[in-house]
Structure 1
Amino acid sequence: MASTDTSESSPTPRRLTPLRWAFPIVVVTLLASLLGVMYLDYIVDPEKNLHDFPIALVNQDVGDDLSTGGPAKHVNFGDQVTDGLRKAVPSDKIDLRVLGINEAQLQMQSAQVYGTIIIPSDFSKRLGILGVGSVVPGDITRPVITLQTNPRTGAFGTAIVQKFGAEALTQVNTQVGQQLTDQVKSTLTPPPGGPPAPALSAATMVTLAQPLNIVVDQFRPLPGGSGEGLTAFFYSLLLLLVGMVGAMIIHQLIDSALGFLPTEWGPWVVHRSRASISRTRTLLLKWSAVVVMSVAVSGALLGIGSALGMPIDRPLLLFLYGAFVITAVGFTCTSVLAAVGTAGLIINLIVFIVLGLPSSGGTVPIEATPKYFGWLANFEPMHQVFLGTRSILYFNGGGVAGLSRGLWMSTLGLAIGIVLGLAITRFYDRKGLERKPAAATAV
């Protein structure tokens, strides 16, 4: 039966000095300020922060031979559009990649680009037919340029692609229209002394001014139940939170069971006698609990997702990845707590939540946040977890799509947690630094 620990000397009343009273307020204020900077800076102005945003440009146009009253001339309007886009697009904001159609599709399938502009093979031919059709009766169709979005990379990324397409392709449409109008007018110039050329109708002038048909299409649309591409982010957040919060709960309850911390049940306080156990063995006990918890929770999350209708094509892979991520995060969190004690709560919160969520890329693409978020994303756990989860849920578990990075970085995090925990606790044990109250000092 648990009993109240009376082995320590009777506590003496202590006065709450101004310094002790102000310290928690200062800590919370600083933490809240860091939260404000991180969470507001990445969402306030994504368009201003846009940099290196990858979009593919595929030019399949083979050109055409056009005659303007003299010998036929080979033209390739697709090349002109490509050159115009490369010059018009700000290189510091958009990473416009001129690729073949196969490479572009591979990069779309592996989340390497957020969208693709496709100029078809008959682009010049149809544009030439449009020019001729403006003065010769017959059925004509406007040439098409397709803007493919990649909804599996997230709703915000899709919105950026659509806005870019609306601005850049509208400008291209106007430039091509001006060139086509000038070309048609040149064919209508009568020879000296000849009959006057027929005037172009207003409808024809409008058609020539905006000759392109800009079609927006989705590449591999998301299935229903995907939350517009947000289920990967929230599932990743759950894995991270369970790993961190679960580790803290396990740390607290096991320390309480071993008598290192009191347990409060409403007005009752139970403080068991301290167990004779080393710091290293205590940590190993907590790690064992974390592993069991990881397997149980990963299975529970998988079941809940399936029951709610979330599409999961690779359930076994998602279960194993989830359990591994929770274990890696839990080991690291408990190691930090073992190393620095109560302050580890703040450290874990900053590393995994305060810095992790804004740099995850799960809501706003990394390329649309301030550049220091990209630096954080190189090592922050949330970004690595998100890449792996998104790959499993949306990209069939492809390694290039982020699963390889998620696994290797989680393995690295697990290794860091194990080495840190064992090194610190063994050092404390060898130095004889037992877990017992230190002598109280007045402040």
Structure 2
Amino acid sequence: MPKNSAPSAIPDSGGRASGAGHRFGLPLRGWIPPIFVVTLLAALLGTMYLGYTSDPEKNLHDFPVALVNQDDGDIVDGQAVNVGKQITDALIAKVPADKVDLRLVGVGEAQRQLRDGRIYGAIVIPSDFSKRLTILGTAAVVPGDIERPVITVHTNPRAGTYAAQIVQRVSDRAMTEVNHTVGAQLTDRVNAALAAAPGAAPAELTGAARLQLATPIDISVSPFRPLPEGTGQGLSAFFYTLILLFAGFSGAMLIHGMVDNKLGYLPAEYGPWFLDVQPVAISRWRTLLLKWAIALVTAPIVSGLFLGIATLLDMPIDHALPLFLYGALAVAAVCVTGLSILAAFGTAGLLINMIVFVVLGLPSSSGTIPVEATPRYIAVLANFEPMHQIYLSVRALLYFDGHLAAGLGTGIWMTLFGLGFGVLFGAVVTHTYDLRGLYRLGVPHKPVAAE
């Protein structure tokens, strides 16, 4: 058939079909699959993305926050008092364990976990907390300048800006209740002391003193290692992850289509021009090897390009070489796996790749909303979804000094696993197809040429 000629089965210019039961040249049963697939994809998109953003605090689970009690206590009326321990016990009892993973650790361990991004925040009670609280009670009836005892809430913006906001809101609610409880206890203690004091002492507290004792604790919120300028308030790691994944995902589609076009297994259409060449006698396995080779050559070029653009835009990058190497690995892993899926499933592989790498990947990446603030069915995906693994590695390299414990170790291992899976899956499937004589020419029993 000449190029650009219309087969006789195509409807005429008026759009009339040649047979009954057709609409615009397509049988009625041909309408059902695309409508069904699009509807199913839309349902999946709605479930993932609307569920992901609907109510992060309602979906909160296993949200890691450290609690550090350094309070040495004090002696009041001959009795040992440790208000820091009372606050610690109250927080452990009242903070919902199914929502917040409150970790009682020392200050050194809390700082290590903050530096590695393993916790989103820390509540720190200082060593002189009880003593300062006692002094505050005394100052309510004795003139003089005094400072309220301080509890510090450290947020971890490098682990996620939205996560830092959640830490602040959770701690605000918890510490407001603690402040009122401690204030009521301190007020009762001071009133009891006044009642037992000699007649020369004031009979009751002044209004200013009562106000001071009602909320005796100063809650100080401060970021642990604030993010430098040029990080987009902590979003640079997410978007760097996004371009790495999209480069691999879209690269697989482009390489697959362009190579198949050159080999004659897929026609190309450029506007009104239609190009269809004679198929080359090549096995599925060798075709996939060719596509993999192109992907492996392209991956470091793309990674270097991204790194260069980020540098030109003054994005702070302290570990350029590791970021370049990991970026090349990530692009190669996604592209190789995507090509294997296309080799196995053909056109359906486009949809599978989009679901695996994009539809399921974005909500479970933790790049914007932490996985601990998403529905559990999304959080489960983070255990194996490629985008989450890439994000952990990129975040560790950009914000956490390239610490393996900050997610880089897990990310590298999972990316290598994904690359290995893609190679193994593609090799097994294409070899199986070739051995069974399932050639790509539409007539399995009559291949163009034997290899």
Task: Report the counterpart of residue 230 of structure 1 in structure 2.
Answer: 235
Map of 1:18-167 to 2, 5 A cutoff? 18-67=28-77, 72-167=78-173
Shift of 1:12: 4.7
Task: Report the counterpart of residue 243 of structure 1 in structure 2.
Answer: 248
- Alignment identity in percent? 54
SS in 2 for 1:146: strand
Task: Report the counterpart of residue 193 of structure 2 in structure 1.
Answer: 187
1:15-73, CA deviations, whole angstroms, 9 ceiling, x for partnerless residues? 41011133212211211111111000011011110111111011111011223xxxx22
Q: Does 1:401 align with 2:406?
A: yes
1:249-280, CA deviations, whole angstroms, 9 ceiling, x for partnerless residues? 00000000011111112211111111111111
1:112-131, CA deviations, whole angstroms, 9 ceiling, x for partnerless residues? 11000010011011001001
For CA contacts below 8 A with separation 6 or more, give which structure has more relative contact order: 1
2:9 aligns with one of 7, 10, 13: 13
Whether the 8 Å CA contact 2:261–2:268 is kept in 1: the answer is yes
2:333 aligns with one of 328, 337, 354: 328
Whether the 8 Å CA contact 1:331–1:417 is kept in 2: the answer is yes
Distance 2:433 2:89 in 1: 65
Gaps of 5+ in 2: 11-24, 445-451
Q: Does 1:176 align with 2:182?
A: yes
1:322-341, CA deviations, whole angstroms, 9 ceiling, x for partnerless residues? 00001001110000110111
Gaps of 5+ in 1: none
Distance 1:266 1:51 in 2: 51
Distance 1:348 1:231 in 2: 24
Distance 1:376 1:191 in 2: 65
Whether the 8 Å CA contact 1:111–1:401 is kept in 2: the answer is yes
Shift of 1:343: 0.4
Task: Report the counterpart of residue 352 of structure 1 in structure 2.
Answer: 357
Distance 1:317 1:195 in 2: 73
1:177-230, CA deviations, whole angstroms, 9 ceiling, x for partnerless residues? 0111011011111479x5674321100000000101110111000000111111
Q: Does 1:275 align with 2:289?
A: no
**Aligned partner of 1:57: which letter?**
L
Q: Structure 1 length as normaliser, TM-score? A: 0.94
**Aligned partner of 2:165: which letter?**
A
**Aligned partner of 1:241: which letter?**
F
Whether the 8 Å CA contact 2:191–2:204 is kept in 1: the answer is no
Distance 1:226 1:435 in 2: 48
Shift of 1:10: 9.5
Shift of 1:99: 0.5
Shift of 1:5: 7.2
Task: Report the counterpart of residue 296 of structure 2 in structure 1.
Answer: 291
SS in 2 for 1:228: coil
Distance 2:170 2:416 in 1: 38
Shift of 1:148: 0.5
Distance 2:403 2:316 in 1: 17
Shift of 1:438: 4.9
Distance 1:265 1:375 in 2: 42
Whether the 8 Å CA contact 1:4–1:272 is kept in 2: the answer is no
Distance 1:240 1:97 in 2: 34
Distance 1:426 1:5 in 2: 33
**Aligned partner of 1:21: which letter?**
W
Q: Does 1:391 align with 2:387?
A: no
SS in 2 for 1:58: strand
Whether the 8 Å CA contact 1:230–1:363 is kept in 2: the answer is yes
**Aligned partner of 2:29: which letter?**
L
